[in-house]
Amino acid sequence: MAALRLRLSLLGPPLAELDGAPIAVDTRKAIALLAYLAVTGRPQSRDSLANLLWPDYDTEHARAALRRTLSTLRSALAGGWVEAERDTVSLGRVGVWADVDEFRRLLVECRDHGHPESEICPACLRALGEAARLYRGDFLAGFGLRDSFNFDDWQLFEADGFRRELASALDRLAEGHAARGEYAQAIEHARRRLTLDALHEPAHRLLMQLYAWSGERAAALRQYRDCVRVLDQELGVPPLEETTALYQAVKEGSARAPAPARPRAEAAAGPHSHPMVGRAVEWKALLESHAGVGTDGRLVVLEGEAGIGKTRLAEEFVAHVRSLGGVAVAARCFEGEASLAYGAVIELLRGVLRELDADGVEPAALAEASRLLPELGPAPPPLEGPGAEARFLDGVAGVLLAASGLRPPGVLFVDDVHWADEASLGALAYLVRRLQGRPVLIVVTWRAEETPAGHPARRLLTETLRTGQARVISPARLGLADVADLVQAAGLGPELGTRLHAETGGLPFFVVEYLDALEGEEPDWALPATVRDLLRSRLVSVSEVGAQVLAAAAVLGRSFDVETVREASGRGEEETVSALEELTRRGIVAEGEGGAYDFRHDQARALAYEETSLARRRLLHRRVADALAARSRGGAQASIVALHYRLAGQDAAAAEWFRAAGEHARSLYANAEALAHFHAALALGHADTAALHRAIGDLETLAGDYAGALRSYEIAAAQSGSEGLAAIEHRIGLVHHRRGEWELAESAFQGALAALGEGEDGRRARIAADRSLTAHQRGRRKEALALAERARDTSASAQAHNILGILASKPAEARRHLEQSLALAESSHDSGARVAALNNLALAHRAEGELDRALALTGDALALCAEQGDRHREAALRNNAADLLHAAGRSEEAMAHLKEAVAIFAEVGEEGVMQPEIWKLVEW
């Protein structure tokens, strides 16, 4: 301690010592400020500190009071540690010892001892005992600020967290000492645990058991009576049956102590149980981000190269949050599954519903989530009608954010986001943009090399960093000292550390793999040439049945369950379970939540797959496809079934399932995934090529790939019978209209009318309505009016009133027609027509100077258009919004929309071809 100048003791009455002598300050606010900076561990804005400590002051007086307090505190600390910048204040960490930091460090240390948390080694007992001794009392006991409810709330929250951590430590100490027959120490910790919460019935029960095991039968019976009295007085309830049964056993003398457990070796580092080293800075950053979640949520990105330890760090953090009683849910993205629409979101939803009672989630949100989770019950009607897409995403977000009101804040973790499907990325973006008022921490990992600047995840990060709600943590490679620590923990000679660091470059994955391979070997062991050689040596030693199950698991290619891998491998239930136990012992797979399994490393799965013969791979893929197809309750798994049928060589079945997957993705507006599935169905020879090309053309139109859409429609037209030709010609006309090719659009509309048969009045009316808009763009106002007035179909009428509103000479008449268009579009569930009516109605209000109303309507149109994935019209709406915001004097927001509009306009149409009409789109 001689080297430490500032010592902070905050567990109990606060005490700050400088070189062993208590510091003297004449204001409690200085102590409060010092404690807050020490515990949060990060720079704080002056405004937030002023509001924390002087909530009743106006800004000017609060900042002045903060300046005086800072001056007092810096003087008491001899000018050191308090780092006051122009806008921020922080506490330097060099030469500072704080009991709160040491307390939590000791608790975290116990997770690195190479054994399950339910077991306790001698090193655990020492660390937990030291942590318990540091806890002199509740956080800042006896301290408070009468005039700052903000600080009192923060203090109460922190104190509650420390108490929960102490309670968990005392439980483990009592159980650990009891397992060794050390009943006196166990009773001491159990009694202290009970003082933290006299209503905690398990603590009463543990103390009864310990008294009985130590031979103090009378004390055990007294403890039961104390339990009965407290529960009756405070809660008016009797003890649980379990407690009463223990009481009867004590009375009868049958509550006998178990044989003392054999002491566990300390920190034995077997395969995949190595301590986490070299991550103190990153760990602190994660804890700070979690502690910094206030009324609003936050995003943390763990970024780095493959094998740097992002997943291990995040998993340790998830386990830490759960140990505090928080809800933490994890999902993982897999290479090769980028076409599985909402794959990561589905995994998160299932995780949240496992952690929380579904009764606590809004029924409307659960109903929307059932589109992705068939097990929740019948899905609601298709995504049609006003706001259907927004309700879907709101419902999904509502389920995922169900843990946001809990303490400590909930955590949603998505691993390997660089492999996420586009729909999941869109839903994640929707979620992150709605963290205001939702205290939850979203943690994602990605590989820097696979997440380029234009990746949607990076764009989302940039946007969130701008709001101050995001943080990027980039773990570095291990240093020589870190590798040496791992070598020492593995029980190997110190001379190996330098060599291992040089061989691996400090990449944690390589270091751990080499150490696992070295288990039981001499320090002069010759290092294999590559990590693949290490993994191959591990796979070679697997039993025959284990190898068969391993091959089936590798073919599944992701997390897998026992039943599916059993069906695929062809082995019996007992054989499969035994094989999975063997693979788990060997560190090849790991058992996760809900009985699911996953490969510990993607490289191990890839190697097992490559070393399975082609004939067996095809057989296994067919079995997997059959098993998944038999259990499929909807379209969510269709793409996985299709993939396995394709790899099994069964193209016809694969094509049919890819089409089903495309239709499912399209119904959820996962347009990119739908497009990929339809193309796959075509490539595999699906019989209905005309319908597939038409669907592909529809999706390419929304994406702004007009040349591609025209090619697809032309192919569909060539392969369609006369009954489908009119619909395709109509679509071709709409694409030409989007490109500003008015004469080609008119020609296509006429072709569509010519191809119509008898009894198709509804389509005839819709084509007439669309021709009216083209006529307007060509300057033929009378023709446009005549065509519009002829429309009688509901959807056509919506378009007719839309064009009549555009052409109206009087503002009141324009608004009347456009409001009628909007009502008709909503009643016919025509999202495209609804977007058009909202946009044109906004333009009408803008023309009359009603900017607020125009902005609201444009915002509604933009949200709906973005959900549909219509890139061209989204660009036009953002451009219109920029004009409105500029007129309203909101220049910064206007510029943000304008930049987005320019970026999207540049994507639309053919690359390198000037198409000015695309950029001119304002109304439609």
Based on the number of CB atoms within 10 Å of its own CB, is 221 exposed (0-12), middle (13-18) or buried (19 or more)? middle
Q: How far apart are CA 206 and CA 228, in angstroms?
A: 15
> How many residues are there in the chain?
924
Query: Which one is predicted more confidently, 404 or 97?
Result: 97
How many C-beta atoms surround the C-beta of residue 218 within 10 A?
10
Query: 623-632: long-range contacts at Cβ-Cβ below 8 A with a sequence spacing of 24 or more?
Result: 623/552, 623/567, 623/568, 623/570, 624/552, 624/555, 624/556, 624/564, 624/567, 624/568, 625/650, 625/653, 626/567, 627/563, 627/564, 627/567, 627/568, 628/564, 629/657
Predicted local confidence at residue 271, as pLDDT = 36
pLDDT tier at 893 (50, 70, 90 boundaries)?
confident
Complete DSSP assignment for 52-70: HH-TTS-HHHHHHHHHHHH
What sign results for the dihedral spanned by CA atoms 692, 693, 694, 698? positive
What is the rounded average pLDDT of the residues 155-182?
89
Dist CA 516 CA 210 (whole Å) = 40
Three-state secondary structure call for residue 199: coil
DSSP strands (E only) in 242-323: 298-304
The pLDDT of 452-465, averaged and rounded, is: 84
pLDDT digits (tens, 9 = 90+) for 498-534: 888 887 778 898 888 778 776 555 544 454 556 666 6
Q: Is the pLDDT score of 743 beyond 50?
A: yes
Nearest 10 degrees: CA dihedral of 339, 344, 346, 350?
A: 150
Could you give the C-alpha distances from 204 to 48, 126, 188, 195, 196, in angstroms and in order? 43, 24, 13, 10, 12
**Pairing state of beta strands 6-9 and 96-98?**
parallel
Mean pLDDT, residues 364-388 taken together: 74
Minimum mean pLDDT range among 374-383, 405-414, 495-504, 726-735: 374-383
| pLDDT digits 0-9 by tens, 761-770 | 667 777 877 7
List the structure tokens of 647: 């790899």
Helix or strand (DSSP H, E) at 89:
strand 88-91
Average of per-residue pLDDT across 773-783: 60
Rg, Å, the chain Cα set: 33
Banded pLDDT at 119 (limits 50, 70, 90):
low
Q: What's the pLDDT tens digit per position in 703-714? A: 888 888 999 998
d(CA 700, CA 723) in angstroms, rounded, equals 23
Look at strands 328-332 and 298-304 and give their pairing: unpaired
Both structure tokens of 182:
């050390």
- C-alpha 43/C-alpha 32 separation (Å) is 15
Dist. CA 240–CA 511, nearest whole Å: 50
Q: Which residues pair with 673 in a beta bridge?
A: none
Strand partners, 303: 446
Q: Are 830 and 800 in contact (CB under 8 A)?
A: no
Confidence class of residue 114 from pLDDT cuts 50, 70 and 90? Answer: low
Specify burial of residue 762 (Cβ count, 10 A radius: 0-12, 13-18, 19+).
Answer: middle
Confidence at 205, pLDDT banded by 50, 70, 90: very high
Return the DSSP state at 25: -
State the pLDDT at residue 602: 74
- Which structure tokens are listed for 552? 């089936």
| Residue-averaged pLDDT of the chain | 83
CA distance 83 to 65: 17
- Pick the closest to residue 127 from 107, 113, 111, 112 (CA basis): 107
SS3 819: helix
- Reported as type and span, the H/E element at residue 79 is none
pLDDT by residue (tens digit) across 393-451? Answer: 888 888 888 877 666 888 999 999 998 988 899 889 888 988 888 889 999 999 887 88
Q: Which residues contact 751 (CB under 8 A, 6 or more apart)?
A: 729, 732, 733
Q: Give the pLDDT band (50/70/90) at residue 647.
A: very high
Q: How far apart are CA 198 and CA 534, in angstroms?
A: 53
Give mean pLDDT, residues 366-389. 73
For 834-860, the pLDDT digits (tens) are: 888 898 899 888 888 888 899 999 988
Alpha-carbon distances of 676 from 289, 332, 658, rounded to whole Å: 38, 21, 9
* Better pLDDT: 620 or 755: 620
Residue 712 has a pLDDT of 92
Q: What is the mean pLDDT of the segment spanning 786-796?
A: 57
* pLDDT band of 207, cuts 50, 70, 90: very high
Full DSSP string of 639-693: HHHHHHHHHTT-HHHHHHHHHHHHHHHHHTT-HHHHHHHHHHHHHTT-S-HHHHH
Contacts of 691 (CB under 8 A, 6+ apart): 716
Q: How far is CA 165 from CA 135, 193, 323, in A?
A: 10, 11, 8
For residues 342 and 395, is the Cβ–Cβ distance under 8 A?
no
Let me know: does 101 contact 280? Beta carbons within 8 Å.
no
* pLDDT at residue 96, as a whole number: 86
* Cβ 534 vs Cβ 511: under 8 Å: no
Q: What pLDDT, on a 0 to 100 scale, did the predictor assign at position 267?
A: 36
pLDDT digits (tens, 9 = 90+) for 895-906: 888 888 888 887
Return d(Cα 324, Cα 286) in angstroms, integer.
15
Give the least confident one: 60-64, 68-72, 112-116, 122-126. Answer: 112-116
Question: What pLDDT does 268 receive?
Answer: 34
Q: Helix/strand/coil (H, E, C) string of 387-450?
A: CHHHHHHHHHHHHHHHHCCCCCCEEEEEECHHHCCHHHHHHHHHHHCCCCCCCEEEEEEEEHHH
Question: What does the pLDDT look like over 312-362, one tens digit per residue?
Answer: 999 999 988 888 878 899 998 887 777 788 889 998 998 888 877 666 678
> In which residue are the tokens 């009891």 written?
178
CB 730 within 8 A of CB 766: yes
Complete edge-to-edge strand list for the sheet that includes strand 15-18: 21-22, 15-18, 6-9, 96-98
Mean pLDDT to the nearest integer, 244-254? 87
| pLDDT tens profile 22-40 | 888 878 899 999 999 999 8
pLDDT the model gives residue 113: 58
**Nearest Cα residue to 107 out of 121, 85, 132, 128:** 128
Closest CA to 920 of 872, 886, 887: 872
Phi, psi of 582 (to 5 degrees): -65, -45
